[in-house]
Structure 1
Amino acid sequence: MRKSVLIIFSVMISAVALAQSKNPFNAADLRLSWQIVENPYANTTQARALITLVNKGSKPIPAKGWKIYFNATTTRTGPDKILLVDRVNGDLFALYPGSGFKSVAAGDSISSSVLQGHVKDVTDFPKGFYIVFNNEPEKGYPLLTDITNQVNVDKSEKALAEKIYRQNELITDVPAANLSPVLPTPVSYKRAAGSFKLNPQVKIINDPAFIKEATYFKDELAKVLGSKPQTGFTEKYNVIVLQKGGNNGAEGYQLQVTPGRITISATNGAGIFYGLQSLKNLLPASAWSGTQKNFDIPAVTITDAPRFEHRAFMMDVARNFQPKSHLIKVIDLLSFYKFNVLHMHFVDDEGWRIEIPGLPELTQTGSTRGHSTNELNAINPAYGSGPDTTNQAGSGYYSRQEFIEILRYANERHIRVIPEIETPGHARAAIKAMDARYSRLMKLGKKAEAEQYLLRDINDKSSYRSVQGFSDNVVNVGLPSVYSFLEKVSDELIAMYKEAGAPLQTIHFGGDEVPAGVWEKSPVIADLMKKDSSIKNTSDLWFYYFGKVNNMLKSKSLYLSGWEEIGLTSGVVNGRKRLVIDPRFANENFHTDVWNNLAGNEDLAYKLANAGYKVVLTNVTNLYLDLAYNTSFYERGQYWGGYVDLNKPFSFIPYNYYKNQKENEQGQPLKAGYFDGKEQLTEEGKRNIVGIQSPLWAEVITSPEKHEYLLLPKLLAVAERAWAPDPQWATEPEIAKSEAMYNQAWAAFANKVGKSELPKLDHYAGGFQYRIPTPGIVIENGLVRANMQLPGFTIRYTTDGTEPDVNSRMFTDSIPYSPQLNLRAFNNEGRGGRTVKVVQ
């Protein structure tokens, strides 16, 4: 039987008839169908799609005078060449009539095959289709489009459901009394008899040093009690005391809950703040729903401190934008689970998202996506953002004042915000914005001013193609104007932080994925190489560039952060050209976010740390939250670096991640001895591991709801690894014993997440649309059995092929197989996850 997916991109066509009267036909009358019919195609790494254009109007569709644009993975002309495909740039492609295309009469249709990259999941579907007429080149009209997979995926979906079932069998029910009282797991805790009665009459007594934290906590309690607690002075009962004391380190605390009094002791505000987060975490899920005003907080003593000083989440708002309201919500979530770093990826090829006074084109052009022939007012559509500049994911930025407000909000919650200005690659939005500035000022005859911040050599003939398909996304590091630009941006960022009263220790300048071929035919670079004998080839420009950026930052009392490449240089290994450790920057306090632990680079993070670089472990195989949860065709997310479910960050062992990595990026098991010969982390290297970070790249995220789906519940496991002490299973040398200990810890964590944390997140900070896992399913002796990854969720089913809802029958132990059996999991609020069809 066939399994199909139907995605309908339905867009209201608002142009009046008059606006299109000069066009050969009305765009609203054209229907486009894109069907995946072979996957893979002819034993290649490609898929074949059948495109059908249907004419619903009264005018014929001619064989010339129009092009259809769309965003997709690599796509090219198919064997019949009726429709031709060209890459415009990046993921933007153009589809237009070939010589075999004939006029399509009213009511008729025409079909043609094209080839695209292998389709592994719905993420690979093309999107954002719109048509442009030759006689109206600056206007794009969205098209009504059907995307359908016609290739049978039942076999792989069945195998995955069985795999999930076997994995879930390891998760047993654990009583609440045997679970950690808070998450992340504290260093130690001891439960006691009784409970504290939290009600609106509670008083707060705080050391004067903790007024900021006390004010914050009063505001938080007002959300659950309906009114702010009053300040107390001498009360002995029904009081929360924030006091100096203890010796638990810079962010450590002690929390003691007794029937009449709660005491949080710490040496500074950060410790008090994290004690308050643990106290909030002790509240029942119902507290955040606003349905009651009195709560019992169980008596307990917690002594706690974080494992890592750098506990980071990277939020990508460049590829697709998120509004300030959602960012504030994410900050609330991060602080609740004791993250202390928010890495903001403001800049990439597809968008510039922060206002810089004096450079208005950065936001006028660089933050705006829409159809354009010259990209002076908007950059090309990407990720399906379409022709209109009003697309909320494609266009948008934070004003200077908004960012100052964001900084203040984060600072009040002890979160440092690291701004990332991606360079020298991934900089197309900035390059195009400064081109627009150049064009504007040149028209005014202001040549010197026009060239002041130019980011490319206008006469550069170099040819290259980035990983994401761009041919013009790298700034020219030989231009003095590039460094003027970076200093201008840095100074404006510094001024924002100063006005916000927020700490700024570093600016992240990227360094990721600069393609081969850049700068090779640049006259500016040729002149630089003549003047500077230390630059022998374009590879030496890396040291030249980051040396200048480093000196600029040091002059402002900041250090440089970047992706791993800032600590690498070109070298030859076993006769092959590869990136190797660059010792020249090792003692410059570079902080490197090391993501690449894929084949051939498994030990890169340890190599950099051993060499003297500060390393933030950002391992793609375990910590990239944008990767799909599993291999299901229907699961949204990336997959190039593997698959990341809740267990991947939970199982991560920072100081020996070889031990926890069980499969490669294709999801296949690794052979025994796979990591033999890889560099081990030294004691000195261990001291250079400053923390861990999880990025959530936004290529497939076009709404806050989609962001939350990939963010949660995975982020909770990252919080556990970043804060909680090194677990015993991670250091146990005996394999069988270590695995048994891990399975026990994993079951406890899954119980904590399913029964305690996610019910809170249904309402906390307005509630989150976290992913509800799909059931694991097996068929044995004609009976269907199912289970769940997260205890506390229910499974419901239908037998008529319809989608189960909250009123459908509850699945208990097993039921007989039937051909139209569907299963779906639900949370306590009655919200359902993705429906799974049971396949025999």
Structure 2
Amino acid sequence: MRRLLLQLPLLLWALMTNAQVKNDVVNAKNIAINWQIIENSYAGTGQFLSVLNLQNNGPIPLGNNNWKLYFNFARKVIAKTVSGEVNIVHVNGDLYYIRPTEKFSPVSNGASVNIEFASGDWAVNYTDAPEGFYLIYDNNPQKPIPITNVKAIPSTSPAQFARNKQDRVPAITPQLIYEENKNIVNLPEKELPKVFPTPVTYKEKPGTFNLDLGINISADPLFIAERKLLKEKLGLLLIPKKAVTSGKSMVLKLDKSLGKEAYVIKINPNSLIIAAADPTGIFYGIQSLFSIFPPQKRGAKVASINIQNALIEDSPRFPFRGLMIDVARNFQTKEEIIKVLDLMGMYKLNVLHFHLIDDEGWRLEIKGLPELTELGSKRGHPLDSNAQHLIPSFGSGPFVDNPHGTGHYSTADFIEILKHANSRHIRVIPEIEAPGHARAAIRSMEARYHRLMKAGEPKAATEYLLQDLNDRSTYRSVQNWNDNVIDPALPSAYHFMEKVSDEIIAMYKAANAPLQTIHFGGDEVPDGAWEGSPSSLAFVKTHPELKDVNGLWVYFYNKLYEMLKQRNLYLSGWEEVGMQPVLTDGKKSYVINPGLADKNIHLNVWNNIIGWGAEDLAYRLANVGYKVILGGVSNFYFDMAYQKSFDEPGYYWGEYADIDKAFNFIPFNSFLNSNKDKFGNTLKEGFYDAKERLTAKGKANIVGLQGLLWSETIKGPKSLEYMIMPKLLGLAERAWAADPIWANEPDSNKRKQLYNRAWSEFVNVVGKKELPRIDAAFETLNYRLPPAGAVVKNGMLHLNIQFPGLTVRYTTDQTEPTKDSPIYTKPIPIKGTVRFRTFDSKGRAGKTSVIHPEENWKANPNQLP
């Protein structure tokens, strides 16, 4: 009895605690959060002011203690500007939490509180908003409670859209879109190029070749796999038919006189011949053949297809035609990557640069290092050092089952991806980020260290350690991490690189896939790294030629270069690999490092942002002797938002980039169409006069072009597809085809006329041929449907579209346009509100636009009268 009486208070306390936790859960589920931009250029600074509104819709007050509200936010919060009697505390990376102070007034049922704060830089669209909110109560710290009722309130005023006083890029409106599209001519299909991307030559001949499944397809033994693929694809288009002796033939022919990846197609009344010197050339010839076919509905087969007789001679301009996909920040499934490979193959892109590793995730199984995926591929709560996962990032939330924050490819998955890429003649370049952007690897190897130390194996514990555990360096990366840089002074860091490289090599061998290089990152190592590392400081003392810890940079990449050379691979990296830090009057800057030039080191050059001063960096690196892949932010970062609009996803720190930015890029003269800076200001005459041009050596070192999709804002396959398509078509044209005529026209007026004609031709091809082809080729592919432009003239509503061939439907009764709504064919009278949206060939709809007759003057919300 005495024992029961002694336990009674404990039982009562437990019951009260459980009741409190239960009530807290109800309370959290009834919290609504709204975020809104107040103004950019706050107080005349390079900051913006925004507000979080927390509303309590539950019966239990939100008190002034006992809770933390976690969230992810890509901007740096200025702590001293926070209002609302709360503190906003930075955890690491983009993770913050809100903690009430004692002065915080409890928020009762139906009440709300505003929390204003300033943040670095600016905000324009909804993907700038904080995300991934979850509540943690002090009395139950292991039970995070997600808050799902979160909204970003659309902006409407100039103060919300203008990033700073220099910003001249207007917020997009139907009227502005109409103006942008006004020079597009709706061309008849018979006037459009028959093959895309544009071939070297296309010569039409009289007559047609009638293709059906009764025709036998013969192939040189070298092309058996391509013959099988051709038959499979034709089987999806044509009705089966018994073979007949018609005298017609289809041949995949070996022609050793042709160059690498080149092909010739000869279409005659009784024969269709695709010739090439290698299977890749045959594969590209097959892709061109399919692009000649008239668009068909998916699943709708026909008895035969008439093909115009022609002679096509073709070869690629650049050997490297790539797409980089980041699966580290937000994961994509194996199935989606295979789908992207199919899309790349259609458009003769031949390199998948696979960004597998970053601060926020390690996505590839490495045998012998299980922590890399057991810990490094997962994100969630709790946040303590013993957690077997990384912390939440990019709104991935508290639970490790979030499919965007958590995920990896097993060895079998990766081998399957490699095999599929090989079948589409795409080589895969794996990227292992180092020495920066390496937090997932660092944390994983630290967990391995503690596991083996606990097991009494100190030698094994330190074998792959990536940081000095006594490092007291103080730094912040661009993404606000303070512990994401590998220590180049540690021999174990190189053991790790060797181990990972050898396991990757083994996977490629198992897949029978080509491996020529491993990409070892190299970008955005923050100032301050290694300055507090005992290992680095001691290493520099014994290697006086390094001068200081900054010398470790070149040392690190020399070691990786030699390591890969021993394995018959070349080194790839970001542009910084070809640079070296120097100190001048105590200030660090980066200059080109000639020591690694002329060693077949391939650099992806991303920094061509107009106004930052490095507009010619790619050319300078190529001229010195580095192999350069052009993938500048201003033209080829597919994660950049298409337009300036609150509801248009993506970043825009480098540029707003629609499909035209890739289309109008001229690889050997990138200055030609770059006449405005990132804020839309026209460049002064002579802006490029001092910039370095390509030499003959430099031109030979430009090996190709690449589109890049960083995934901070990419959640799932639909988001990925929306951001890369149709931009990828602009990349495909520029990477494959020779310079267009307008690029070499010295007269600016004539060049503009030629460009407008070429642009009209291109967008007609996209809208009338390529997008319908994609609709037929894939069950679903969520490419972006551009909104229509609109203008009111004399009481009539005029609409136009970026891609002629797409359908625009409208309503005048306040309802959303559907696939059954009236089709716009000519100007319509406007008396009230009109809603309109774009539809593809399957009836999938884009975003709805709205226009009122009295609002036609609102051409630019940044410049309201």
Q: How does 1:315-326 map to 2 (within 5 A)?
A: 315-326=325-336
Give the C-alpha shift of residue 238 in structure 1.
4.2
Is the 2:37–2:123 contact (alpha carbons within 8 Å) kept by the matching residues of 1? Answer: no
1:647–1:442 Cα change, 3 Å: same
Shift of 1:671: 3.0
Per-residue displacement from partner, 1:389-437 (whole Å, max 9, x unpaired)? 1111111111001111111111111111000001111111111111111
1:25 and 2:24 aligned: yes
1:797 maps onto 2:810 in alignment: yes
After superposition, residues 583-602 of structure 1 pair within 5 angstroms as 583-598=594-609, 599-602=612-615
User: Counterparts of 2:459 and 2:23 in 1: how far apart (Å)?
Assistant: 46
Q: Deviations over 1:555-577 (max 9, x none)?
A: 10100000000000124789964
Aligned counterparts of 2:561 and 2:256: Cα–Cα separation in 1: 39
| Change over 3 Å in CA distance of 1:691–1:804 after alignment to 2 | same
Q: Deviations over 1:524-552 (max 9, x none)?
A: 00110111121111221111000001110
Amino acid at match of 1:95: I
Q: Within 5 Å, which residues of 2 pair with 1:424-823?
A: 424-571=435-582, 577-598=588-609, 599-818=612-831, 820-823=833-836
- The question of whether the paired residues in 2 share the 8 Å contact of 1:76 and 1:86 is answered with no
Assess if the C-alpha contact under 8 Å between 1:335 and 1:413 holds in 2. Answer: yes
d(CA) in 2 for partners of 1:389 and 1:158? 38
Cα gap change, 1:596 to 1:476, in 2 (>3 Å): same
With over 3 angstroms needed to count, the CA separation of the structure-2 counterparts of 1:441 and 1:19, relative to structure 1, is: farther
Cα distance, 1:132 vs. partner? 1.3
For residue 152 of structure 1, report the CA deviation from its aligned partner.
1.8
- Residue 163 (str. 1) matches residue 176 (str. 2): yes
Out of 333, 347, 353, the position equivalent to 1:343 is 353
How much has 1:48 moved relative to structure 2?
Answer: 3.2
C-alpha distance in structure 1 between counterparts of 2:498 and 2:285, whole Å: 39
Gaps of 5+ in 1: 1-16
Aligned counterpart, 1:49: 50
Between 1:193-202 and 1:497-506, the stretch displaced more is 193-202
SS in 1 for 2:113: strand
Q: Within 2, Cα distance between the matches of 1:110 and 1:159?
A: 32
Q: Which amino acid aligns with 1:126?
A: P
Aligned counterparts of 2:770 and 2:241: Cα–Cα separation in 1: 24
Superposition deviation, residue 190 in structure 1: 1.5
Equivalent of 1:333 in 332, 335, 343: 343
Q: Which moved more, 1:209-218 or 1:336-345?
A: 209-218
Give distance in 2, aligned partners of 1:573 and 1:801.
64
Shift of 1:24: 6.2
Residues 754, 791 of structure 1: 8 Å contact kept: yes
Check whether the contact 2:172–2:644 (CA below 8 A) recurs between aligned residues: no
- 1:113 corresponding residue in structure 2: 116
- What percentage of residue pairs aligned between the two structures are identical? 45
Task: Structure 2: state its 5+ residue gaps.
Answer: 1-15, 162-169, 857-865
Asked whether the equivalents of residues 274 and 338 of structure 1 are also in contact (C-alpha less than 8 Å), the reply is yes
The CA distance in 2 between the partners of 1:81 and 1:60, in whole Å, is 16
Contact conserved, 1:343 with 1:419, CA < 8 A, in 2? yes
Aligned to 1:65: 66
Does the 8 A contact of 1:81 with 1:100 survive in 2? no
For 1:766 and 1:148, locate their aligned partners in 2 and report how far apart those are by CA, in whole Å.
Answer: 32
Deviation at 1:369, TM superposition (A): 1.0
> What's the CA shift for 1:655?
0.3
Q: Distance in 1 between matches of 2:118 and 2:45?
A: 11
Residue matched to 1:138: 142
Root-mean-square deviation (CA, aligned residues, Å) is: 2.3
Match of 2:165 in 1: none
State the shift of 1:154 in Å. 8.4
Q: Does the 8 Å contact 1:131/1:140 carry over to 2?
A: yes
Is the CA contact (8 Å cut-off) linking 1:39 and 1:151 kept in structure 2?
Answer: no
Structure 1 distance, partners of 2:207, 2:845, is: 36
**CA distance in structure 2 between the aligned counterparts of 1:571 and 1:33, rounded to whole angstroms:** 47
Counterpart position of 1:239: 249
After superposition, give the CA deviation of every residue in 1:672-694 in whole Å (9 maximum; x if it has no partner): 32211100100111000011111
**Residue 108 of structure 1: CA displacement?**
3.9
Q: Which deviates more, 144-153 or 619-628?
A: 144-153
Q: So what's the TM-score if we normalise by structure 1?
A: 0.94
Paired residue secondary structure (1:762): helix
Aligned-pair CA distance for 1:348: 0.6
Distance 1:441 1:575 in 2: 42
Compared CA separation, residues 565 and 507, structure 1 to 2 (3 A): same
Deviations 1:733-782 (A, max 9, x none): 22222221111111101100000000111131333111011112233444
Counterpart of 1:35? Answer: 35
The answer to whether the Cα contact below 8 Å between 1:82 and 1:101 also exists between their aligned partners in 2 is yes
Q: Kindly tell me: are residues 163 and 106 of structure 1, through their superposed partners in 2, closer, same or farther at Cα, counting changes over 3 Å? A: closer
Alpha carbons of 1:153 and 1:295: their partners in 2 closer, same or farther (altered >3 Å)?
Answer: farther
**Residue 400 (structure 2) pairs with residue 389 (structure 1):** yes
Q: Which residue of the partner structure matches residue 306 of structure 1?
A: 316
Q: Which amino acid aligns with 2:740?
A: P
Q: Distance in 2 between matches of 1:426 and 1:819?
A: 53
When residues 131 and 583 of structure 1 are mapped into structure 2, their CA distance, relative to the original with a 3 A threshold, is: same
The partner residue of 2:292 within 266, 271, 282 is 282
Amino acid at match of 1:464: Y
Q: In structure 1, how many angstroms separate the alpha carbons of the residues matched to 2:685 and 2:832?
A: 41
Equivalent residue number for residue 377 of structure 1: 388
Deviates more, 1:458-467 or 1:55-64: 55-64
Deviations 1:782-810 (A, max 9, x none): 44322111101222223344332222333
SS for the counterpart of 2:666 is: coil
Q: Which amino acid in 1 is paired with 2:680?
A: G
Give secondary structure in 2 for the equivalent of 1:659: coil
Q: Give the structure 1 partner of residue 279 of structure 2.
A: 269
Secondary structure of the structure 1 residue equivalent to 2:589? strand
Shift of the 820–548 alpha-carbon distance from structure 1 to 2, 3 Å rule, reads same
> Which moved further from structure 2: 253-262 or 779-788?
779-788
- Distance change (3 Å), C-alpha of 1:164 and 1:559: same
TM-score, reference length from structure 2: 0.91
Distance in 2 of aligned mates of 1:126 and 1:199: 56
Residue 802 and residue 50 in structure 1: after superposition, are their counterparts in 2 closer, same or farther (change >3 A)? farther
Give distance in 2, aligned partners of 1:229 and 1:264: 23
- The offset of 1:18, in angstroms, is 10
Q: Does the 8 A contact of 1:139 with 1:387 survive in 2? A: no
Amino acid at match of 1:122: Y
Report deviation, 1:205: 0.2
> Given the superposition, is the C-alpha separation of residues 585 and 146 from structure 1 closer, same or farther in structure 2, using an over 3 Å criterion?
same
2: distance between equivalents of 1:342 and 1:424? 22
**Counterpart secondary structure, 1:616:** strand
Matched, 1:410 2:409: no
The residue that corresponds to 1:14 in the other structure is: none
Partners of 1:170 and 1:743 within 8 A in 2: yes
Going from structure 1 to structure 2, the CA distance change for 1:236 and 1:614 (only over 3 Å counts) comes to: farther
Mapped pair 1:83 → 2:86: yes
Q: Structure 1 residues 766-775 or 482-491, which shifts more?
A: 766-775
Q: Distance in 2 between matches of 1:386 and 1:467?
A: 22
Q: Secondary structure at the match of 2:661?
A: helix
**AA paired with 1:370?**
G
User: Equivalents in 2 of 1:360, 1:222: separation in Å?
Assistant: 44
Alpha-carbon distance in 2 for matches of 1:775, 1:661: 26
Q: Is the 8 A contact 1:171 1:743 kept in 2?
A: yes
Structure-2 change in CA distance of 1:167 and 1:22 (3 Å): closer
Q: Counterpart of 2:349 in structure 1: which amino acid?
A: F
In 1, distance between residues paired with 2:691 and 2:567? 38
The CA deviation at 1:286 is 1.0
